[in-house]
Structure 1
Amino acid sequence: MSKLADNPYKNTLQKIAQHYNIKPTGASHPHMELATIFLLSAVDRYLDDGAQWSCVMPGSLLSGLNHEPLRKEKYRTSEATLQLQFEEIWELPQNTFRNKAIVLSGKKSDDPTSDLLRGRVYTDEGDYKEVHYTLNHQGNRSAWTNRGHDVDVTDIIGDNSLKFSQGCDLFPRTALFHEFIKRPNGNWNIEPIVRTSDLWYLVNNQKKVSCNGLVAKNVDDKYIFDALISKHLSPFYLASPAKVLMPGKKVNGKWKEISVTDLALMNAGTAYVFNQIANDSNTPADLQTYLRETINIYGKLEKQNFSTKNWLVLSSASGANPCAAYVSLNTLDRNRLIIDQTLYWYLAESENEAVYITGVLNSNALSDAIKDFQPEGGFGKRHIHTLPYKIIPKFDDGDIAHKDVVMKTRELIQEWSTLCIEDEYKNLLQPNSGSLSSRRRRQQSAIRGLDVYSAYESACEAILG
């Protein structure tokens, strides 16, 4: 109903939705559905107890947030005390209507709805597969699915989710991150990162200390890369990457392990560094195992091919609130870029897509949507990990609501960038200027005070409802 301009029946329909207790709440409150209002009203007015009914309904009824009250049968405890039982779901072929549709069937009865509904999935007229539907729950959210009881609601909703990848495991930090001093010949001298260094954030909370005090001269440049970790990331901003020593080499875009022959042919400084790493008690016994089973576990390093697209979106991998920024890969050495496992990354097709995803990821609307899926443990909300990427609709450049998110996010970024010229906020963007959680809280607080913030939030709410 949110798509109907100047709807003269809006107030009446809202009252009917409230009467049956199916009016959406939270971010989905603008998205009342005419079909569900019609179904409940028609069953209530025109059918006798025990009568059977079937109705063509929008496919969003299976998992949409605005249909949560209907799936939870809140009409049973409404003013109307309507007793309606669901019995069967048919999913219709994609091309039957403009939007995905289902046929929902049931009975006017005070009998409880079964845990297992009969169903069909049609691929064409008369061509279908018999299935069963369960109503799965996760946190405060639910969804009907024919994939079984054990499937998370986020996986049901996220069938077409954004394909973010987690970075690789750059640990132990003290073995890989050092002070790097460039030499005239292009190679590097290495020294330990000390507490007074601007790079102290790289190693300051390491539980395992490896290669402590490592000093070397003339380390070969081909083993030195540019790394991004979560501490580089702020809302809508990415600090410069840090140099990192890798126990492997990149040949024609492919990662190769350091062989015994490679070690024998290295200059003295480079060989010394890798021998120290291999002999340390907190690192694997050999460099090949270190690269293969620690850094590149699950292929998280070799997946990092940044040559195919130009826009990189980065998002935090921990905490209860998402944080994201995007960057043009033309401003980085994409062949030497490495993303750490504290970040998730995504290559966008266009800058508009990158802006859209970054905008939604940083919004309170997304944080609120995520909370519905997060059961609280003894220590509060769980880490978000891949949850945001499963509930953000894929970018559609022809969708007016998506375009609005892009426009409002660009305006917000512009206003935030202007504010960050001031020393107070400029300092908050530096990875070594305090704890990550404290910096982000202060940044997010400042962003919420910007003039365009309210319009930006409304745009993000509109696509998540």
Structure 2
Amino acid sequence: MAENIRLLDSQIILEIFGLNSDIYAESVKFFKEKIKVSENYEKFFKEWKEIFEKIYGKKMFLDFFINHTYFAQILKILLITKLGTISSLNFEEIYKDYITINLKDLKLLEFDYYSWTHFSKDLFKVIYTKIGNTKCTKEDLFSNLYQQIFISDVRHKIGEFFTPSTLVQRMVDDIYIFGLKILDPSCGSGNFLVSIMNKIIDSSKSLQLKYKAILNVYGFDINPLAIITTKINIFLLLLEYFNIEKSLLPNLNIFLIDSLFPESYEKNTNINIKNLYNSFDLVIGNPPWLTYKDLYNKDYQIKIRELSGKLEIKPLSQFITHIELAAVFFYAIPLKFLKLNGIIFFAMPKSVLNGDHCYKFRAFSIFNKNLEIWDFPNYYFFNVNHICLKAEYIGKVKKISINDKFPIKTKIFNNNLELIEETIYSSLKIHENGAKLILPHHEASMIDKLKKSSYKNKFFQGATLVPRSLIFFQIEEKINGNFLISSDSDVSARAKKEWEYSFQNIEIERKFQFKTFLNKDLIPFFLKRKRNVFLPVNEQFDLDLKFLQKHPNALAFYKDINGFYQNHKKKTSNINTLFANLNFWNKLKKQENNKSFIIVYNASGSNLKAAVINNQIQKIIIGSENYYYSTNSENEAYYLSAILNSPSLSRNIKLIKSSRHIHKRPFMFPIPIYNKSNITHKKLAKKGKKYQTITQDLFLNNPKITSEKVRIIIHYKLLKIQKLIEEIIFL
């Protein structure tokens, strides 16, 4: 009876089938047993590996394959059960269909990767009991389970940031009109497409027009499991709310295609991809949030670099590794797929507005002047700063002055997606081929009046002391002037899987021990901890093999860790030795001549934190998580510490920084060079030194104290600094 029908939504599906469920545990056990006796397993596993190692750029293991098989088989059961229920089949008949039906009939070609096995009748019955007599809700049913199966570490490899349903719905409601031909070029589990399908189903149009509108909905993705998920998501929706049979299900236009390079996929999709070029009214979605350096395939890196050049958005050479795939998608997809005056609407990382690497992107050269930004100041929906960006495609022929595209209409939303303000965003500097920064107009006007600090060219980023598992160590024993060392357990516990490496009781000569610290060791005004690091260098911070040969223990250890580095580095990396990595861009060698006092601050984070290090006792190496400046003036160091720990400086940097990255942005504000004759400068230096002592005492009382806790405790003291800073800087 109708009252006994249960609703099946994304959360319930996660509870029934998630990685913590009994069904998952039993299924994994079952599949592992099947592998032992399956004649087909090796063939399918090999084909699957070839596909997914291209996607993820890492070794794919059996556990991943089993998880994928499990997920795909659950999708098949849900679909077959729904079809069977509509046809009034009993359990035995539905199970028979599950075993015998080839999903190719429904154009689910991608399921082939997972067809090497099926659930036993007993397991099927357990699952059937959970999902029988249910009604699917009108949503992306598999969003939660899909995210869990593709664990966050793996999803990051392909830049998948799942878009919350509330944001998807708001974007679709804003832009989609019934009948538009639309494309989601990176559709994932299908959340945008499902939302659009719901609008089609809920419309008052005829069934014939609804079918026509459905056939105007397209989705592309490079992940076969994403294609299966999207198709079955939509099939279940249509079966539930159109009450149709299998024979009437439409051929969905969801294809296994790389949207940036679709021609290479044409042979496997049985469509003429060129017929789709410049045919869409709307492109909507959430493209991959990857940068160039995240790509594991060197050939693909080259293709992306060349494509960004053709699109005229390629950054300067020092920013090449930061090319945003989302930015490439925003230009490449309209050029290939949108009609003239078609609309693109993407959720994107906010770095496209304020990152140096996106300077040319902000020319908006192929778009009309009616741009629109949706901003979310406290980044409610993703764990990095984000926006939604909407633009009208006008092509390369029609030219509109970049100045006419500014200011940009902007909507500010709260965490409930309620519109709280309509405003305009502008840029600090607009040139013919790009724009400096995009931010609220009044803030841009204020910042534009400021002069950069001369300290900008005096601060440097530290050395790339990675992989940490190879070079960070703890001292076990001192013997004959040497050290017996083992892996730093704290560092090892945090090592990425590909860099898991440990060593025990290795002897090295004392002169190869250096001190460094991690970003988490730094709190406002104080460095909580220094760590040991092995560096294979002479007194000039060079790798000198003749020098190393005089120190056989260090030489042997370096050979071991260098060999491990060479065997495990990314194939895309041209940095062929461990030392070359440690000294990348000469950032290690540059520290040879560091002076008596070093002021350091964090390269990224929500707030600035800075401290003074006395470099006279033992030289300390600064890592790339921090920026530094060395001076022989103790007062200058503490003066800078006071300014850099100022809450108002952190607050103003947030206006212009890209996601969590701080880099040299403190010096876009006019911090004056220290003047020993300036009374205010001397007062700031005195307070910087005093607050170091106060913070040190806080640490001694509570070694686990956090930066946030320090700021709370010394809040009123920071306000005193603020008053002094206002005398010398406009903040």
Task: State the TM bucket, normalised to the shorter chain.
Answer: 0.5 to 0.7
Residue in 1 that maps onto 2:561: 277
Change in Cα spacing, 1:457 to 1:299, as seen in structure 2 (3 Å) is same
More helix by proportion, 1 or 2? 2
> Are the structure 2 counterparts of residues 115 and 397 from structure 1 closer, same or farther at C-alpha, using a change threshold of 3 Å?
farther
Counterpart of 2:712 (choices 442, 445, 461) is 445
Query: Could you tell me the percent identity over the aligned residues?
Result: 24
* Equivalent residue, structure 2, for 1:356: 639
- Which whole-Å CA distance do the structure 2 matches of 1:208 and 1:171 have between them? 14
Can you list the C-alpha shifts for 1:95-153, whole angstroms capped at 9, x where unaligned? xxxxxxxxxxxxxxxxxxx999xxxxxxxxxxxxxxxxx99xxx978657999964568
Shift of 1:223: 2.4
One-letter amino acid matched to 2:454: N
Offset of residue 216 of structure 1:
4.2
Return the alpha-carbon distance in structure 2 between the equivalents of residues 144 and 401 of structure 1: 33
The structure 2 residue matched to 1:250, chosen from 538, 552, 555, is: 538
8 Å Cα contact 1:172/1:209 also seen in 2: no
CA distance, structure 2, for counterparts of residue 402 and residue 270 of structure 1: 46
SS of residue in 1 equivalent to 2:532: strand
What is the CA distance between 1:364 and its match in structure 2?
0.6
C-alpha displacement of 1:300: 0.5
- The structure in which a higher percent of residues are strand is 1
| Aligned residue number for residue 460 of structure 1 | 725
Question: Following TM superposition, by how much is the alpha carbon of 1:239 offset from its aligned partner in structure 2, in angstroms?
Answer: 2.9
CA distance in structure 2 between the partners assigned to 1:384 and 1:360 by the alignment? 15
- The alignment status of 1:314 with 2:600, answered yes or no, reads yes
1:382 correspondence with 2:660: yes
Q: How far does residue 305 in structure 1 lie from its aligned partner after superposition?
A: 2.5
Q: Is the 8 A contact 1:216 1:273 kept in 2?
A: no
Corresponding residue number in structure 1 for 2:485:
190
2:441 aligned partner = none
Residue-pair matches, total: 297
Shift of 1:294: 0.8
1:30-45 counterparts in 2 under 5 A?
A: none
What is the root-mean-square deviation in Å for CA atoms of aligned residues?
3.6
Cα–Cα, structure 1 residues 142 and 283, in superposed 2: closer, same or farther, change >3 Å? closer
- Give the secondary-structure state (helix, strand or coil) at the position aligned to 2:537: strand
Where does residue 368 of structure 1 map in the other structure?
A: 651
- The answer to whether structure 1 residue 343 and structure 2 residue 626 are counterparts is yes
**1:174 CA drift (Å):** 0.8
The one-letter code matched in structure 2 to 1:409 is: G
Q: 1:184 to 1:447 in 2, by over 3 A?
A: same
In structure 2, give the amino acid aligned to 1:256: L
Q: 1:13-412, aligned counterparts within 5 Å?
A: 150-151=435-436, 157-158=451-452, 160-162=454-456, 163-194=458-489, 200=490, 202-210=491-499, 212-246=501-535, 248-251=536-539, 253-258=540-545, 262=548, 266-267=551-552, 269-280=553-564, 281-282=567-568, 289-307=576-594, 309-330=595-616, 332-334=617-619, 337-374=620-657, 381-391=659-669, 392-412=671-691
Q: CA deviation at 1:409?
A: 3.4
TM-score (norm 1): 0.55
Distance 1:141 1:463 in 2: 27
**Cα distance 1:320–1:349, how it changes in 2: closer, same or farther (>3 A)?**
same
Seen in structure 2, the aligned counterparts of structure 1 residues 292 and 412 have a Cα distance that, compared at 3 Å, is closer
3-state SS of the aligned residue for 2:667?
helix
Structure 2 partner of 1:432? none
1:349-390 Cα distance to aligned partner (Å, 9 max, x none): 412211111011111111122123236xxxxx4321111133
Structure 2 alignment gaps of length 5 or more: 1-400, 408-423, 438-443
Render the CA deviation track for 1:53-102: whole Å, top value 9, x for unaligned: xxxxxxxxxxxxxxxxxxxxxxxxxxxxxxxxxxxxxxxxxxxxxxxxxx
User: Using a 3 Å threshold, how does the CA distance of structure 1 residues 167 and 221 change in structure 2: closer, same or farther?
Assistant: same
> Residue type matched to 1:222 in 2?
K
Q: Is the 8 Å Cα contact of residues 317 and 343 (structure 1) preserved in structure 2?
A: yes
**How much does 1:284 deviate?**
8.9
SS in 2 for 1:203: helix
- Distance, in Å, in 1 between the alignment partners of 2:688 and 2:679 is 14
CA distance 1:220–1:321, shift in 2 (3 Å): same
Report the residue type matching 1:193 in the other structure. Answer: D
Question: 3-state SS of the aligned residue for 2:643?
Answer: helix
The question of whether the paired residues in 2 share the 8 Å contact of 1:235 and 1:443 is answered with: yes
Larger Cα Rg: Structure 1 or Structure 2? Answer: 2
Residues 172, 208 of structure 1: 8 Å contact kept:
no
Question: 2:484, 2:554 → 1: CA distance?
Answer: 10
Query: Does the residue aligned with 1:189 lie in a helix, a strand or coil?
Result: strand
Structure 2 CA distance for aligned equivalents of residues 321 and 389 of structure 1: 15
Q: Provide the secondary structure at the position in 2 that maps to 1:293.
A: helix
Cα distance in 1, alignment partners of residues 722 and 589 from structure 2: 37
Q: In structure 2, what is the equivalent of residue 111 of structure 1? A: none
